[in-house]
């Protein structure tokens, strides 16, 4: 893959599965509805995505006794959707655990959790590791340290609220300081808010680092309808905002979507960016 051109991630997985009537933890669908998961991946490939995110967000040993089976199925589902020109990344999200002294989880326990998922993801063909939607710098540092042992590209994004901070208080500058100390290939922002604040955050990110930049926003802010979140930002509006953001990024550009984005959103971004 040419890493000196614009690259395109896929978009939301959980929200796409919900449209198909598949509820619950999306990673379980790798086993219960494998054709549906592969179908979502394939739709993103057809939309122009060349980085496909395996459906492994939260596939951890402390959450799922059959986590190894889930990861194996997730990698197989993603691999079945791609051609020779796309890569499949293992997706690592927050564990949901809180480190001492604010919680009762130790750094070693977190290391073991990440290590197990990485081990199985790599064994089943991951081309790179995406660590995303992180909010705690300490947890992120542990995840990166375990990912470094796999000797493959590491992509990192954090989730910031409109104030430019994560829910744990980390800033974009804090993120950059961390990734500059470790073996990270690309850094960026995902989820967290609508598109309104992304341009300013990306400008700050570009001013602080020469690393490749990842931008994966939600499809606007959700509206709760009958207890479920709905994202109503049209693909054309999403793509226009991403085009404006693309103008301020550096030599490497990785664009995609997060919650609520669809293959139509990604196709619109590919066409405009």
CA–CA separation, 47 and 263 (whole Å): 6
Count other Cβ atoms within 10 Å, centred on residue 198.
Answer: 22
pLDDT, one tens digit per residue, over 169-219 is: 999 999 999 999 999 999 999 998 888 889 999 999 999 999 999 999 999
Q: Give me the domains of the chain, ranges plus CATH numbers.
A: 6-272 (3.20.20.330)
What pLDDT, on a 0 to 100 scale, did the predictor assign at position 221?
A: 85
Nearest to 139 by CA among 181, 170, 176: 170
Helix H or strand E encompassing 111 = helix 107-123
CA–CA separation, 250 and 246 (whole Å): 9
123 token code pair: 């064994």
pLDDT, one tens digit per residue, over 30-84 is: 999 999 999 999 999 999 999 999 999 999 999 999 999 999 999 999 999 999 8
Which residues make Cβ contacts (< 8 Å) with residue 109, sequence separation at least 6? 97
164 token code pair: 């430019």
What pLDDT, on a 0 to 100 scale, did the predictor assign at position 84?
A: 84
Count other Cβ atoms within 10 Å, centred on residue 54.
Answer: 29
pLDDT at 1 over 70: no
pLDDT, one tens digit per residue, over 235-273 is: 999 999 999 999 886 555 899 999 999 999 999 999 998
pTM: 0.95
């Amino acid at each position: 893959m040419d890493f000196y051109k614009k690259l395109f991630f896929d978009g939301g997985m959980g929200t796409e599965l919900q449209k198909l009537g598949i509820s619950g933890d999306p990673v379980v669908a790798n086993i219960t509805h494998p054709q549906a998961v592969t179908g979502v991946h394939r739709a993103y490939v057809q939309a122009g995505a060349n980085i496909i995110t395996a459906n492994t967000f939260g596939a951890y040993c402390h959450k799922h006794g059959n986590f190894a089976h889930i990861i194996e199925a997730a990698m197989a589902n993603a691999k079945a959707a791609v051609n020779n020109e796309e890569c499949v990344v293992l997706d690592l999200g927050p564990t949901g655990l809180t480190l001492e002294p604010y919680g009762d989880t130790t750094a070693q326990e977190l290391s073991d959790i990440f290590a197990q998922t990485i081990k199985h993801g790599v064994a089943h063909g991951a081309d790179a590791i995406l660590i995303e939607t992180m909010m705690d710098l300490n947890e992120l540092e542990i995840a990166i340290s375990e990912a470094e042992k796999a000797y493959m590209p590491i992509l990192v994004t954090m989730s910031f609220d409109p104030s430019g901070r994560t829910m744990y208080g980390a800033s974009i500058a804090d993120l950059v300081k961390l990734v500059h100390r470790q073996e990270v290939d690309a850094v960026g922002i995902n989820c967290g808010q609508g598109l309104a604040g992304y341009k300013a955050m990306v400008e700050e990110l570009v001013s602080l680092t020469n690393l490749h930049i990842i931008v994966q926003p939600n499809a606007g802010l959700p509206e709760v309808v009958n207890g479920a979140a709905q994202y109503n930002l049209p693909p054309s509006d999403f793509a226009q905002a991403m085009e404006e953001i693309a103008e301020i990024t550096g030599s490497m550009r990785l664009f995609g979507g997060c919650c609520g984005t669809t293959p139509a959103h990604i196709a619109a971004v590919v066409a405009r960016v």
